[in-house]
Amino acid sequence: MAKTLTFTCSACGAAHGKWSGRCDACGAWNTISEEAPLAAGPAKTSLGNRRGARIPLSDLSTEEAPPPRTRSGLGELDRVLGGGLVPASAILVGGDPGIGKSTLLLQAAAQFARAGLKAIYISGEEASAQVRMRARRLGLADAAVKLATETNLRNILTTLEAERPDIAIIDSIQTMWADHVESAPGSVSQVRAAAHELTTFAKRQGLSVVLVGHVTKEGQIAGPRVIEHMVDTVLYFEGERGHQFRILRAVKNRFGPAHEIGVFEMTGRGLAEVKNPSALFLGERSAPTAGSVVFAGIEGTRPLLCEIQALVSPAPQPQARRSVVGWDGSRLAMILAVLEARCGVGFAGLDVYLNVAGGLKISEPAADLAVAAALLSARENRALPADAVVFGEISLSGALRPVAQAENRLKEAVKLGFTKAIVPAGTKTGAQGGLKMAHFQDLGDVVGRFFGSAAPGADNGA
């Protein structure tokens, strides 16, 4: 029989046969530690020959009504859930310490209670008095939410079974302790076991559970990724601590589209919905600025304009810096390589900083052209028109590729007062009232038109 794997990565949950400094599964450092095996006693190697019960099978075509949903009334939350809360579902809300998870979920519990659901909030890390103080500050002191402080999973399940709530919030999964597992709270085995018990209990009892999970970098306690596969919906609450904006992002949803985002603002009275996020992420842009380009993006089903900023400066060290916030570092490397190889614009000996304003994280390749334009604009110290939006994917050959949902992107640009769009040739457009479109076949044409050098195709009227 194979030796039991007893080393586990607390970031991704991968099992390893021996200790090592870096997890090959997720690349995290110092996250692997020895873990007591889940069940004591000799492991069974097969099911043996006792027969199971025969399970009834049904057709794919069997009629299934869409799940009934309850809207919280917090529109940004309902959107991310796929249109409201589905009964008997398990939701994981992950986020950095202090980002506002407890605030969000206390507000959500109060809203769901207002919508007629029975809501219970169980805190494993704050005293009830602390939670009540937060509720008072948020103006939710009279919300019909039941509260308890507990970490013992057995007691929690017994209580939920007796109380039969519609929604239970467990803040946080890392503080829960299942007494049938012999390892410390927060360890991979404990977090897995507690999440497993809670999600199966939720399905059986028809209640929805929301598990709060701290994202940790140190690897001392298990991160939320360890249980992502067990739950129906995985939401991450993101934002920069210094900024007031918070983004709730669906990275997995069995009951709705993934990649949907909800945008909030952290205020003294809790999280407020942001109904027009484009306006927020653009801030107070008015004068044309070198290195700043507005990208017309799509997040989930919603168009979202944001500012991409680049700074290029001579590198004091032999090894030039490439620093990215809010975008993919390897995608930046690719664009720099294409600019160099296909357009003759080099960045050797230059430090490059790229930043998506407002703490937003973008993953669309549609941002390629906006990133390239920001880099060029910073390098040449020449601004694009302040009232232009940019989008398009760049291929390794330097050709520009049209992207999905061009019309939605352009409509949002018009709505926010932009008058020009720089897009790949072949971009499908409808009647974009008053928007002047500049189509380009190739990244080299964009360089030629806006950033000087003698590239071909230089008369495109933007």
Binding site for Mg ion (CB under 5 A): 102
Using CB distances below 5 to 8 A depending on partner kind, what does residue 26 bind out of ligand ATP, Zn ion, Mg ion, none?
Zn ion
Rounded-to-integer distance, Cα 214 and Cα 101, Å = 9
Using CB distances below 5 to 8 A depending on partner kind, what does residue 23 bind out of ligand ATP, Zn ion, Mg ion, none?
Zn ion
What residue type is 223 in one-letter code?
A: G
Please say which residue, 23 or 438, places its beta carbon nearer to Zn ion. 23
Q: Is there binding between residue 25 and Zn ion (CB under 5 A)? A: yes
Q: Is there binding between residue 376 and ligand ATP (CB under 6 A)? A: no
What are the residues whose beta carbons fall under 8 Å from the beta carbon of 13, sequence distance 6 or more?
188, 192, 222, 225, 226, 227
Please select the residue that binds ligand ATP; options are 9, 32, 90, 101, rule is CB under 6 A. Answer: 101
Using CB distances below 5 to 8 A depending on partner kind, what does residue 9 bind out of ligand ATP, Zn ion, Mg ion, none?
Zn ion
Using only C-alpha atoms, the chain has a radius of gyration, in whole angstroms, of 26
Tokens of 129: 């008095």
Please say which residue, 137 or 428, places its beta carbon nearer to ligand ATP. 137
State the residue for tokens 């952290």: 266
Q: Is there binding between residue 12 and Zn ion (CB under 5 A)? A: yes
Please select the residue that binds ligand ATP; options are 268, 314, 316, 318, rule is CB under 6 A. Answer: 268
Please say which residue, 223 or 291, places its beta carbon nearer to ligand ATP. 223
Q: Are 169 and 135 in contact (CB under 8 A)?
A: no
Beginning with the edge strand found earlier in the chain, give each strand of the sheet holding 292-299 in spatial order: 322-325, 350-356, 302-314, 292-299, 388-390, 420-424, 436-440
Please say which residue, 97 or 426, places its beta carbon nearer to Mg ion. 97
Q: Is there binding between residue 283 and ligand ATP (CB under 6 A)? A: no
Q: At what angle do helices 153-163 and 188-205 cross, to 10 degrees?
A: 10
Please select the residue that binds ligand ATP; options are 21, 56, 66, 98, rule is CB under 6 A. Answer: 98
Please select the residue that binds Zn ion; options are 7, 16, 26, 254, rule is CB under 5 A. Answer: 26
Q: What angle do CA 111, 233, 149 make, to 5 degrees?
A: 55
Q: How far is the CB of 295 from Mg ion (least distance, A)?
A: 33
Please say which residue, 14 or 211, places its beta carbon nearer to Zn ion. 14
Using CB distances below 5 to 8 A depending on partner kind, what does residue 88 bind out of ligand ATP, Zn ion, Mg ion, none?
none
Using CB distances below 5 to 8 A depending on partner kind, what does residue 123 bind out of Mg ion, ligand ATP, Zn ion, none?
none
Q: Is there binding between residue 9 and Zn ion (CB under 5 A)? A: yes
3-state secondary structure of 16: strand
Q: Is there binding between residue 23 and Zn ion (CB under 5 A)? A: yes
Please say which residue, 102 or 427, places its beta carbon nearer to Mg ion. 102
Using CB distances below 5 to 8 A depending on partner kind, what does residue 11 bind out of ligand ATP, Mg ion, Zn ion, none?
Zn ion
CB-based burial of residue 213 (10 Å sphere; 0-12 exposed, 13-18 middle, 19+ buried)?
buried
Rounded-to-integer distance, Cα 82 and Cα 115, Å = 17
Stretch that binds Zn ion, among 20-28, 67-75, 133-141, 442-450 (CB under 5 A): 20-28
Q: Which residues pair with 94 in a beta bridge?
A: 213, 236
Neighbours of 194 (CB within 10 A): 25
Neighbours of 149 (CB within 10 A): 17
Please say which residue, 101 or 331, places its beta carbon nearer to ligand ATP. 101
Rounded-to-integer distance, Cα 231 and Cα 224, Å = 11
Q: Is there binding between residue 95 and ligand ATP (CB under 6 A)? A: yes
Please say which residue, 174 or 377, places its beta carbon nearer to Mg ion. 174
Q: How far is the CB of 165 from Mg ion (least distance, A)?
A: 20
State the residue for tokens 């030796």: 3
What are the residues whose beta carbons fall under 8 Å from the beta carbon of 192, sequence distance 6 or more?
13, 38, 222, 226, 227, 230
Tokens of 146: 């039941």
The count of chain residues that interact with ligand ATP, using the rule CB under 6 A, is: 12
Subset of residues 195 to 234 that bind ligand ATP, contact rule: CB under 6 A = 214
Q: How far is the CB of 116 from ligand ATP (least distance, A)?
A: 25
What residue type is 204 in one-letter code?
A: R
3-state secondary structure of 333: helix
Subset of residues 12 to 41 that bind ligand ATP, contact rule: CB under 6 A = none
DSSP calls for 265-315:
EEETTEEEE-S-HHHHHH-S--S--TTEEEEEEEETTEEEEEEEEEEEEE-
Please say which residue, 212 or 234, places its beta carbon nearer to Mg ion. 212
Rounded-to-integer distance, Cα 58 and Cα 237, Å = 38
Please say which residue, 12 or 335, places its beta carbon nearer to Zn ion. 12
Rounded to a whole number, what is the distance in angstroms from the first to the last CA of the chain? 70
State the residue for tokens 């404990």: 190
Q: Is there binding between residue 97 and ligand ATP (CB under 6 A)? A: yes
Q: How far is the CB of 127 from Mg ion (least distance, A)?
A: 12
Q: Are 254 and 87 in contact (CB under 8 A)?
A: no
Please say which residue, 102 or 190, places its beta carbon nearer to Mg ion. 102
Please select the residue that binds ligand ATP; options are 137, 164, 196, 275, rule is CB under 6 A. Answer: 137
Binding residues vs ligand ATP (CB under 6 A): 95, 97-103, 137, 214, 266, 268
What are the residues binding Zn ion (CB under 5 A)? 9, 11-12, 14, 23, 25-26
